[in-house]
Amino acid sequence: MKLRSISILLAIFLILLFMYSPLGNTSKINLTKWLAPAPTILPVLDQYKVSTYEWRLKDKDWNFFSFKDAKGKMIFVHFWASWHLPSKATLGTVQKFYNQYKDEVIFYIVTDEEIAPVLAFMNEQKYDFPVTYRVVGDQTPFNDISLGVSYLIDNQGKIIVEELKASNWDDQKLFKQLRQLLDK
């Protein structure tokens, strides 16, 4: 019993050391990646329709476009920022998810940052997924647009995945479930 208590305390100490020490962002990002669960498809009864497709966004060239353009297609939406630690932990798996499904899913990887820090971050990380810029102050079709939140919307407009925290989007079980949905 005493050995178990010491092991638990040691594990808590190590986690706190990673999260609240000057060990640097790399250790914190790696711990967040390690702890991030895979997204799960919501049970059918918990799935719900997107409230509206009226959502104005900007593309990489700062040109306005509408979320309506993706209506009737499978859509992935992820809110992030280059300075946000859980975003940094998640975006590597978002890139892998994008690489796997970029021809079958519309990706809105959304930030409200200016272009310069986003481009610097994207180049540093060697990410090539499309960045979408949110028009701050405009209504969105989602209840929660906090950093790190992700949605997967099927071609009928139902939200089938709603992840409110850092997630591992490079998951074979998710890929298998998504393949089944796309093949319907």
Which pLDDT score, from 0 to 100, does residue 85 have? Answer: 84
Which pLDDT score, from 0 to 100, does residue 144 have? Answer: 93
Which pLDDT score, from 0 to 100, does residue 182 have? Answer: 87
Which pLDDT score, from 0 to 100, does residue 19 have? Answer: 62
In what side-by-side order are the strands of the sheet with 150-153? Answer: 48-49, 158-163, 150-153, 75-79, 106-111, 131-134, 56-58, 64-66
* Residue 1 scores a pLDDT above 80: no
Which pLDDT score, from 0 to 100, does residue 170 have? Answer: 92
For 13-71, the pLDDT digits (tens) are: 777 766 666 656 776 767 676 777 789 999 999 999 999 999 999 999 999 999 999 99
pTM equals 0.85
For 37-174, strand residue ranges (E) read 48-49, 56-58, 64-66, 75-79, 106-111, 131-134, 150-153, 158-163
Q: Is 25-182 a CATH 3.40.30.10 domain?
A: yes
For 94-141, the pLDDT digits (tens) are: 999 999 999 999 999 999 999 999 999 999 999 999 999 999 999 999
Which pLDDT score, from 0 to 100, does residue 8 have? Answer: 85
H/E stretch holding 60 reads none
Q: How many Cβ atoms from other residues are within 10 Å of residue 95's Cβ? A: 19
Who's near 142: CB < 8 A, 6+ residues apart? 50, 51, 77, 149, 151
Question: Can you give the residue ranges of every domain in the chain?
Answer: 25-182
Which pLDDT score, from 0 to 100, does residue 10 have? Answer: 80
Which pLDDT score, from 0 to 100, does residue 159 have? Answer: 97
Which pLDDT score, from 0 to 100, does residue 17 have? Answer: 66
Who's near 151: CB < 8 A, 6+ residues apart? 75, 76, 77, 78, 142, 159, 161, 162, 163
* 108 bridge partner residues: 77
